[in-house]
Amino acid sequence: MDEKTLEFPIMIYEEGKVRFLAPALPEGWEKAVSPSGIPVFFNPYSKLSRDMAVLAVKAYFERKGIKVCEPLAGCGVRGIRIAVETGIVSKLVLNDINKFAYSLIRKNVETAGLVNITEVYNIDANALLAAHSSGGLRFDYVDVDPAGSPAPFLENAIRSCQSGGLLGVTATDLAPLCGTNPLSCIRKYDAVPYTSPYSKETAVRILVGFVARTAARVGMAISPVLTFYRRHYIRTFVKLTYSKTLAKESFKNVGWISECRSCGNVQWSSYTEPFKLCELCKSTPQVFGPLWLGELTSKDFALKALGIAYEADMKEAYTLLKKISEELQTVPFYYRVDEIGKRLRSRAPKPASIVDRLRLLGFNASLTHFDGQGFKTDAPREAVEQVFSELASSEA
């Protein structure tokens, strides 16, 4: 149903348990226009991201009466879905500096029956977050979901979150984070990226590492509970705790990765430890970071969210969470079978076959949600290449 209001055409959408108004997108819009090029930002392809936000909030909070803020709300559907589908929100703050978005949010809040618990603002996101950065004004959950980099909003978002609260962060600027535009990554995230076969994971780790370093500046520590990569964006949910001691401790999970360009060996080291020569061939490696080297997801949390996704019949979220819950979390990179095959001049076995063989040999190994051609393992590179060659020969 199209309506000529708000000076641009809008349409009624249904997502999760809510109906809402958003800009009417023309057929083939994804090739013709960017979601950020319409009067109010709305991307239908981000439904999974919104599903995961609902699941994360529901899995994390075991009490009612939480305060939620979405400072870059667009049409407001994410925050509205969290309130409606979790049933635990006592205060919802939605904001967008776009005047059209502000009007649309107000209509959607009214349609959802959330007027009594919702405050809607039309101001700068940082101004809103800064105004809620002390005492009882802070939120239990803050969701930063910009079109592009979250870097300009992170410090104020962290300050506006309660100790023990949850912060959701999205980044859609994958070119800088994956190493295609390194100077942009250095400017935004104060980190050196690297174009590698496992750039999707290092992009996520640069983002989480930046969140950790930003939090530490204001005396807060982070604990990632759920992190993932999907088509055009990366997303992480982290627990925040006010503690200078824990903030210092969190730096044990921040460091550097180095890859040898000669033999492909990957090493990692702590934030304060200088890089070393390749331990296999003694060549000088390519070093990148700083980035997060610790776990990106809590397995217990992923399994809890998985159960909620099953009950809610969120099929796409369920499939993703199942992969994440089975993924090895102790290794900060993954192998791609096509890259190993290219290096060894061999055909590539299926990643699942390699994982099964490595497990039989006593190593930890798993597939990875980051890449359908990837697998993760704590086996040394020599063992990985030997298994690869044996399987390639047997499957020939």
Q: What is the pLDDT of residues 71-117, one digit of tens each?
A: 999 999 999 999 999 999 999 999 999 999 999 999 999 999 999 99
Instruction: Give the three-state DSSP class for 192.
Output: strand
The pLDDT, as a whole number, for residue 269 is: 93
Q: What confidence tens digit (pLDDT) does each residue in 317-338 have?
A: 999 999 999 999 999 999 999 9
Residue 2, classified by CB atoms within 10 Å of its CB into exposed (0-12), middle (13-18) or buried (19+), is: exposed
- Examine the pLDDT at 312 and tell me if it is beyond 60: yes
CA distance 257 to 171: 21
Instruction: Give the three-state DSSP class for 89.
Output: strand
Q: What confidence tens digit (pLDDT) does each residue in 344-362 have?
A: 999 999 999 999 999 999 9
The pLDDT, as a whole number, for residue 306 is: 98
Closest CA to 285 of 192, 354, 172, 360: 192
Q: What confidence tens digit (pLDDT) does each residue in 50-82 have?
A: 999 999 999 999 999 999 999 999 999 999 999
CATH number of 334-396: 3.30.56.70
- Examine the pLDDT at 252 and tell me if it is beyond 60: yes
Residue 349, classified by CB atoms within 10 Å of its CB into exposed (0-12), middle (13-18) or buried (19+), is: buried
Mean pLDDT, rounded, for 362-370: 98
The pLDDT, as a whole number, for residue 3 is: 45
Mean pLDDT over the full length of the chain? 93
The pLDDT, as a whole number, for residue 29 is: 55
CA distance 321 to 342: 31
Closest CA to 206 of 158, 243, 171, 167: 171
Lowest mean per-residue pLDDT among 134-138, 212-216, 232-236, 260-264: 260-264
Band of pLDDT at residue 396, cut at 50, 70 and 90: low
CA distance 16 to 252: 39
Give whichever of 40-44, 132-136, 235-239 has the largest mean pLDDT: 235-239
The pLDDT, as a whole number, for residue 34 is: 61
The pLDDT, as a whole number, for residue 35 is: 60
The pLDDT, as a whole number, for residue 36 is: 61
Q: What percent of the chain has pLDDT over 70?
A: 95
Q: pTM, whole model, 2 decimals? A: 0.94
The pLDDT, as a whole number, for residue 2 is: 39
The pLDDT, as a whole number, for residue 208 is: 98
Band of pLDDT at residue 8, cut at 50, 70 and 90: confident
CA distance 6 to 370: 40
Mean pLDDT, rounded, for 156-175: 97
Please give the structure tokens belonging to residue 25.
């997108």
Domain locations in the chain as residue ranges: 334-396
DSSP code for 173: -
Q: Is the distance from CB of 165 to CB of 139 less than 8 angstroms?
A: yes
The pLDDT, as a whole number, for residue 30 is: 55
The pLDDT, as a whole number, for residue 1 is: 35
The pLDDT, as a whole number, for residue 225 is: 98
Cα 295–Cα 82–Cα 45 angle in degrees, nearest 5: 75
